[in-house]
Amino acid sequence: MATGQLFSRQTQALFYNYKQLPIQRMLDFDFLCGRETPSVAGIINPGSEGFQKLFFGQEEIAIPVHSSIEAACSAHPTADVFINFASFRSAAASSMSALKQSTIKVVAIIAEGVPESDTKQLITYARANRKVVIGPATVGGIQAGAFKIGDTAGTIDNIIHCKLYRPGSVGFVSKSGGMSNELYNTIARVTDGIYEGIAIGGDVFPGSTLSDHVLRFNNIPQVKMMVVLGELGGRDEYSLVEALKEGRVHKPVVAWVSGTCARLFKSEVQFGHAGAKSGGELESAQAKNQALRQAGAVVPTSYEALECAIKETFEKLVEEGKITPVSEVKPPQIPEDLNNAIKSGKVRAPTHIISTISDDRGEEPCYAGVPMSTIVEQGYGVGDVLSLLWFKRSLPRYCTQFIEICIMLCADHGPCVSGAHNTIVTARAGKDLVSSLVSGLLTIGPRFGGAIDDAARYFKDAYDKGLTPYEFVEGMKKKGIRVPGIGHRIKSRDNRDKRVQLLQRYAHTHFPSVKYMEYAVKVETYTLSKANNLVLNVDGAIGSLFLDLLSGSGMFSKPEIDEIVEIGYLNGLFVLARSIGLIGHTFDQKRLKQPLYRHPWEDVLYTK
C-alpha cells in the first residue's frame, strides 16, 4: 500500500469501458481546477480503436481509444491510474491485468458484486506489489483541485458547492460513496474543505481499508486533520483503532460509525452495502464508536453531532496555528452543454436540417404524421408509404395502386439494357451489392429511364398551352429536342409495349380524368405518321398518367404539380423500381458465380 499522496494535478488515468458522462465530468473538473492537461489520457474499449470526442472547457478534444489494456499502457506510460467501469463479471480480470502493468499504481473498481474470492486475489497482488485498489463497489476518490475518479462528488454544481475545485486541509475516507457527497458538503461548511477524499467501497473485502488511507493522510503535510465515516459490519474500523493506540496517527481524527439504529430491529438487518451487516457485538456501530473514542478519536454522540465535532476540531487547529485557512478562489465558469442550455431555455440555436416527412422522436416512428403501428395495422402498402414520404399525404387507393403497378412494371427490363448490363459487369468484377447497384443506377438519365420527368414536363406544357400535336412535335424539332416519352428501339406500331397498354387500361378504369394521357396518345398518332417506332413508350405513359393522377385526385394545387414535375419525383419512381431489378441481377450473377466479364473483340469496331 502506498504511504503518501496518490494523486496530483499531473495525474492521468486510463478509463476502461467507455462511459461518456463520468469521463466528461472528470474533464469538467479538470477545467474547473485549472489543469493544463486532461486527466483522462486514454480510453480502453475492448475490440475498438480510434478516438472519442469530448469537451475540455470550451475546446473539443479527441481522446484515444485502445482495444487492450496493454496497448493503452504502452501508449500512455505516464498514466498511472486505472478507472475500471467494467461489469462485475469482468471487473476482476481486467483489474488484475491492469495491476500487472508496471505503469499502473492505482486501480479503482466501480462495479458492485465482484466475487469475494476474486477481490481477495486482487488485494493480495496489490499489497505484494505496493499498489492501491480502491473498491470494488466504489464511486472512487478525489484530490481537491487536482484529480477525481469518474462520478466522485457528483455534478459540477455540487463540486463547486463543496469547494472541491481547490485543496483544503481535511483528509476524508468513507465506506459509502453516497455519504461521501454528504460529508464533502458538511466539511466544506465548517472547515476550509477537503484535501483528499476516498470512498473505499461497501463490499465485505475492500481493496484498501479505512486505516490504509488514514495512515496515508498522516504522511501528507497538507492534510491537517482526518474525518472517517465507517459503518456497522466487518472489523475494518478496528485496524484504525490499533493504529491510534500504537501512536501511528499524529493528527486529529474525527470519526463516526453509522448503523446505530440496527439495535432497534429485533432481527439482524442487511443495510445497503454487502458489508453493512452486523455479525456480532464487536461489529455493531456502538462497539466500534466506543473503541474509536477510547483510542483517542473524536467521536460525537450521534451523526447529527458529527458536523459540530468536525467544526470544533478544525477551529482548535486554527487557534493553535496548525492550520492557516485556505484563501477562497473563484472557479472558472464551465461552459454549459448546448442541449442542456436549450432545454432550460437559456439559449436558442438554429437547426441544421429540416425534415417534414418523418419523425423518430416519439415512441414509434411516424411517416408524415402517421404512426408506424397505424401503417401496419391498417394494411398500408408500398404505394401508401411512398405517398406519405414523397407527397406528405395519404393518396386514394387507386393512386397508390397505380404507383405500385408502375414499380412492378419498371422493376426490370432484361439483362441487355444499359443499367442491368453495368450492374452485371460490376457484380462479375467481384464488387459488393451497393457498388453493383450504383453502377447501374448511374446510367439512368435522358437516354435511359430518366425521361419520365421530361415527358411529363413537355406534355403538360404543350397541353396547358393548347398546342396541337403537330405544333408540339414540330416545335420540338425546330429546337433540336427529341420528344421525351416517344420512341422505342424494339417496340413499334405493330408490336406495342404491353406495359403501356396495361397502364392505359388501368387509368381508363380508375382515373377520374385522363386528359394528359389522351393528349400523349394524339402526339403518338402524329409521330407514327413519321416513323413506325415512334410509339408512346413506358416513360411517356407514366409521365402523362402521373399528370392525370396529380390533377385528377384533387389533392394537389397547380403550383404543387409544377414543383413535383420540376424536382424530379417521377424519375424517382423509375429509380426506385429499377433498383429492384438491378439488385436481382447482382444476386443472380453472384449466385451463378460468374467470372470477370470481358467484352469480345468481334463485337468491337476497331478503326483509325
Q: What is the DSSP letter of 243?
A: H
CA dist., res. 38 & res. 27, Å (int)? 6
Residue 501 C-alpha from the chain's centroid:
52
Q: Rounded to whole angstroms, how far apart are CA atoms 82 and 85?
A: 10
Q: Pairing between strand 140-143 and 59-66?
A: unpaired
Q: Which three cell numbers stand for residue 214?
A: 488514514
If DSSP states are collapsed to H, E and C, what string results for 576-605?
A: HHHHHHHHHHHHHHHHCCCCCCCCCHHHCC
Between CA 292 and CA 238 the distance in angstroms is 8
Q: Where are the beta strands (DSSP E) in 140-268?
A: 140-143, 147-148, 170-174, 194-199, 225-231, 253-258
| Assigned C-alpha cell, 513 | 380524368
**416 CB contacts (<8 Å, ≥6 apart)?**
none
How far apart CA 440 and CA 578 sit, in angstroms, is 9
Q: Are 506 and 498 in contact (CB under 8 A)?
A: no
Residues in contact with 399: Cβ distance below 8 Å, sequence separation at least 6, in sequence order:
383, 387, 549, 553
Say how far apart CA 553 and CA 444 lie, in whole Å: 29
3-state secondary structure of 10: coil
Selecting among 66, 76, 213, 273, the annotated active-site residue is: 273
Q: Which grid cell is 540?
A: 411517356
Report which residue type is found at 535. V
Report the b/e string of 517-552 with b at 16+ CB within 10 A. bbbbbebbebbbeeeebbbbbbbbbbbbbbbbbbbb
CA-closest candidate to residue 311, choices 319, 90, 572? 319
Find out whether 203 and 114 touch, Cβ atoms under 8 Å. Answer: yes
Alpha-carbon dihedral sign for residues 136, 137, 139, 143: negative
Helix axes 452-465, 469-478, angle to 10 degrees: 120
Residue for grid cell 481535511: 170
Are 104 and 134 in contact by the 8 Å Cβ rule? The answer is no
**DSSP labels, 419-464:** HHHHHHHHHHTT--HHHHHHHHHTT-BTTBB--HHHHHHHHHHHHH
Measured CA to CA, the distance from residue 435 to residue 442 in angstroms comes to 11
**Annotation says 508 is catalytic:** no
| Contact present, 13 and 33 (Cβ < 8 Å) | no
| Grid coordinates of 335 | 461552459
N residues, the chain: 608
**Closest CA relative to residue 13, chosen from 134, 167, 181:** 134
* 241 grid coordinates: 483503532
Q: What is the 3-state secondary structure (H, E, C) of 248-270?
A: CCCCCEEEEEECHHHHHCCCCCC
Just list the catalytic residues: 273
